Amino acid sequence: MSLADYHRHPAWSPTALKAAVTGTMRAWRQRFGPDAVPFVPSADMVKGDLVDALLTPPFALESRFQVFKTIARNSKIGAANCAEAEAAGLTPVSSEMVEQALRIRDALLGDPEVGEVLAALDPTHSQQPHFWSDAAGRPCRCLPDVITSDGRLFDLKKTRSAVPRRFYWQAKELAYDLQLAHLALGHEHRCGTPPAETGLIVFEWPTDPTAAIDCGLLLFDAQDLEIGHKRREEAFSRIASCQARGLWPSHGRNPFRPVSVGFGLPEPTAHDLESIDLF
């Protein structure tokens, strides 16, 4: 199955479920509803995809990307390059982006913790689509980034800050716990047992191409996954409610002063809202 065919499949993906608990249902329907227009990834998403393509099967860029010296759409040459790639069904990227992605790949492979996980990657399961029906009979799909030969499950995430305390709260806001819970269900269905370990491989993409590349390995425990499963059910509930009513609201009526979001831990007194990219 091609990557495009996987993303077009109607089974429930972690991306669709995350969007149901991190944004408005009006925005959800615009992206995932019957009249949704083709999704165009942001520049930051493309950067993350480049690193993913270098670190996971088939470990190559040619099938997904076309490399040019410039892809600046405000220039005649850059716009023509982008049009050429898109006409071929490929994502245009610059040679500068590829050089940085290669530096990040090497940094991750050379890290003592992250490198050990990547060295154990099982190519027969990593980046391989899986389809199943969950306990409620709902058709589901997943495409795990990294499955190791000893049954560990990890997802790659590009971020502006790999500092764990900064990454945590924004990751909660982006429902990465829901995503990992969904991936863990798919893993258990495919392999017969839950993942031996579940977590995120996070890495920075510095604006300075000569800067050090920081990364980290963040492990989920049973509480993290339990909360992720609850948020997954919340996503299904919100979608079902909107479908039943035929209403897809925006933010609606709310108190002026925000209340705690109840992620299972006390909310911090300050957030660095720029520390993580939405993708």
- Least confident range from 17-21, 62-66, 216-220: namely 62-66
What pLDDT does residue 152 have? 98
Kindly state whether residues 229 and 189 are assigned to the same domain. yes
What pLDDT does residue 261 have? 57
Q: Yes or no: say if 64 and 91 are a contact pair by the CB < 8 Å rule.
A: yes
Cβ-proximal residues to 35 (8 Å cutoff; 6+ apart), any chain: none
d(CA 276, CA 279): 9
First to last CA, the chain: 23
d(CA 268, CA 73): 40
Look at residue 69 and tell me if it is in a domain.
yes
- Least confident range from 146-150, 209-213, 217-221, 226-230: namely 209-213
The pLDDT tens digits for 179-191 are 999 999 999 999 9
How far does Cα 159 stand from its chain's mean position? 11
Domain that holds residue 62: 41-95
Kindly state whether residues 191 and 54 are assigned to the same domain. no
State mean pLDDT over 76-103: 95
Kindly state whether residues 279 and 213 are assigned to the same domain. yes
Band (pLDDT 50/70/90 cuts) for residue 2 is confident
Kindly state whether residues 47 and 24 are assigned to the same domain. no
- Least confident range from 70-84, 137-151, 199-213, 254-268: namely 254-268
Look at residue 101 and tell me if it is in a domain.
no
State mean pLDDT over 100-125: 97
Kindly state whether residues 82 and 168 are assigned to the same domain. no
What pLDDT does residue 262 have? 58
Q: Yes or no: say if 113 and 119 are a contact pair by the CB < 8 Å rule.
A: no
Kindly state whether residues 253 and 161 are assigned to the same domain. yes
Look at residue 201 and tell me if it is in a domain.
yes
Instruction: Tell me which of 95, 123, 141 is where a domain ends.
Output: 95
For 99, the token pair is: 């050089």
Q: Yes or no: say if 191 and 152 are a contact pair by the CB < 8 Å rule.
A: no
Give the up-direction half-sphere exposure of residue 196: CA atoms within 13 A in the CB hemisphere.
8
What pLDDT does residue 279 have? 30
State mean pLDDT over 200-220: 94
For residue 5, pLDDT over 70 is answered with yes
Kindly state whether residues 140 and 265 are assigned to the same domain. yes
For residue 250, pLDDT over 90 is answered with yes
Q: What is the CATH number of the domain that holds 198?
A: 3.90.320.10
Q: Yes or no: say if 166 and 173 are a contact pair by the CB < 8 Å rule.
A: no
Kindly state whether residues 190 and 277 are assigned to the same domain. yes
d(CA 276, CA 160): 5
What pLDDT does residue 258 have? 77
What pLDDT does residue 272 have? 43
- For the chain, the domain total comes to 2
DSSP label of 266: P
The candidate with the shortest Cα–Cα distance to 263, out of 192, 171, 191, is 171
Query: Of residues 269 and 213, which shows the higher confidence score?
Result: 213
Kindly state whether residues 183 and 226 are assigned to the same domain. yes
Kindly state whether residues 64 and 152 are assigned to the same domain. no
Kindly state whether residues 215 and 84 are assigned to the same domain. no
Which residue do the tokens 């499949």 mark?
Answer: 9
Q: What is the pTM of this model?
A: 0.88
Look at residue 104 and tell me if it is in a domain.
no
The pLDDT tens digits for 116-162 are 999 999 999 999 999 999 999 999 999 999 999 999 999 999 998 99
User: Widest CA span of the chain, in angstroms?
Assistant: 54
For residue 8, pLDDT over 60 is answered with yes
Kindly state whether residues 22 and 86 are assigned to the same domain. no
What pLDDT does residue 277 have? 37
